[in-house]
Chains A and B, each alone.
Chain A
Amino acid sequence: MGKRSVIPYGPQHPVLPEPIHIDLVVEDETVIEAIPSVGFIHRGLEGLAEKRDFNQMTYIAERVCGICSFQHGMGYCEAVERVFGVEVPNRAKYLRTIWAELGRMHSHLLWLGLLADGFGYENLFYQCWRVREKVLDLQEMTSGGRLIFSVNCVGGVLKDIPQEKLDIILKTLDEVEEECKIIKDTFFQDYTVQSRLQGVGILTKEQAHDLGCAGPFARASGIRTDMRKLGYAAYPDLDFEPIISTAGDSFARCYIRTMEVFQSIDLLRQAIAKIPNETDLVTPVKGNPNGEAFMRVEQPRGEAVYYVKANGSPNLDRFRVRTPTFANLPGLCEMLKNTKLADVGLLVITIDPCVSCTER
Chain B
Amino acid sequence: MAKLKKSPWLLHYDGSSCNGCDIEVLAALTPVYDAERFGVMNTGDPLQADIFLITGGINTQNKDVVKQLYDQMPRPKVVVAVGVCACTGGVFKDCYNILGGADSVIPVDIYVPGCAARPQAIIDGVVQAVELLEKRSEEHKAMKKNKKKGA
Contacts and interface: CB of A to CB of B under 8 A. Distances in A.
B15 A41 contact: yes
B116 interface: yes
Contact of A67 (B15, B19, B118): B19
Contact of B23 (A42, A67, A125): A67
A135 B116 CA distance: 16
Contact of B32 (A14, A44, A133): A133
A149 B83 CA distance: 16
B56 interface: yes
The contact size tier of chain B is: 35 or more
B77 interface: no
B116 A147 contact: yes
A129 interface: yes
Nearest to B83: A66
Interface stretch (B91-99, B103-111, B128-136): B91-99
Q: Is the interface of A mostly helix, strand, loop or mixed?
A: loop
A11 B62 contact: yes
Interface in B2-22: 12-22
B148 to A, nearest CB: 35
A356 B97 CA distance: 14
A64 interface: yes
B96 A47 contact: yes
B18 A63 contact: yes
B94 A48 contact: yes
Interface string B18-36: 1111111111001110000
Interface in A62-83: 63-67, 69
A38 to B, nearest CB: 9
Given A41-B14, A43-B92, A126-B30, 8 more contacts: A45-B95, A48-B95, A67-B20, A69-B18, A125-B30, A133-B32, A147-B20, A356-B14
23 contacts: A11-B65, A12-B65, A15-B44, A17-B25, A18-B14, A18-B22, A19-B65, A40-B62, A41-B15, A41-B17, A42-B61, A44-B98, A66-B18, A66-B20, A66-B116, A67-B20, A67-B23, A129-B26, A129-B27, A130-B30, A130-B32, A147-B116, A355-B14
